[in-house]
Structure 1
Amino acid sequence: MPTYQYKNLNTGEVFEVTQRITEAAWTVHPESGEPVKRLISKPGIAFKGSGFYVTDSRPSSSSSEG
């Protein structure tokens, strides 16, 4: 399950909540009842460099079979 960051709009407190993707975003803090907003954050994974294409793992067609 993904972890989402929320910000309390009154106090500025930022906290994390693990929720299902299908759950609606919170609009109030469950304990204090104060308004909260879901923050947009960077993804937890980034693919950089070579090695992530189908052609990278196949041998070249010019290789000789002997």
Structure 2
Amino acid sequence: MPIYEYRCERGHTFEVMQRMSDEPLTSCSTCEAPARRVLHPVAVHFKGSGFYTTDYGRNRTKRIGGDAPEGESKSSGSSSDSSGSASDD
């Protein structure tokens, strides 16, 4: 069961162990003032040399259809496509 943190209007902070299906508390356990559940951001740690370069590779523009890298021409790819369509007839 998770532990939820609550804070009342008068500044009291308290924790309650509840099931996820339970309704949130509405009053402080100390002073009975209205209370709200406190939400905290999740901690995310990115480790490694760089996710962009490792996940998407180095030839990203080639896959998208951008400019071909130096030494390669776009016509070399289109000639293989035309020969493939001729064999379909």
**Bin for the TM-score computed over the shorter chain:** 0.5 to 0.7
Report the alpha carbon displacement of residue 22 of structure 1 after superposing the two structures with TM.
Answer: 0.3
Q: Which structure's CA Rg is the greater one? A: 2
For structure 2, list consecutive stretches of 5 or more residues without a partner in the other structure: 49-89
Would you say how many aligned residue pairs link Structure 1 and Structure 2? 48
Give the structure with the higher percent helix.
2
Cα displacement (A) at 1:29: 2.2
Partner of 1:54: none
Structure 1 portions without partners, runs of 5+: 51-66
Q: How many Å separate the matches in 2 of 1:32 and 1:13?
A: 8
| Mapping of residues 29-44 of structure 1, within 5 Å | 29-30=28-29, 32-43=31-42
Q: Which runs of 4+ in 1 moved over 2 A?
A: 29-33, 45-50
Query: Counterpart in 2 of 1:49?
Result: 47
TM-score, L = length of structure 2: 0.44
Cα distance in 1, alignment partners of residues 25 and 36 from structure 2: 7
The one-letter code of the counterpart of 1:5 is E
In 2, Cα distance between equivalents of 1:29 and 1:13: 8
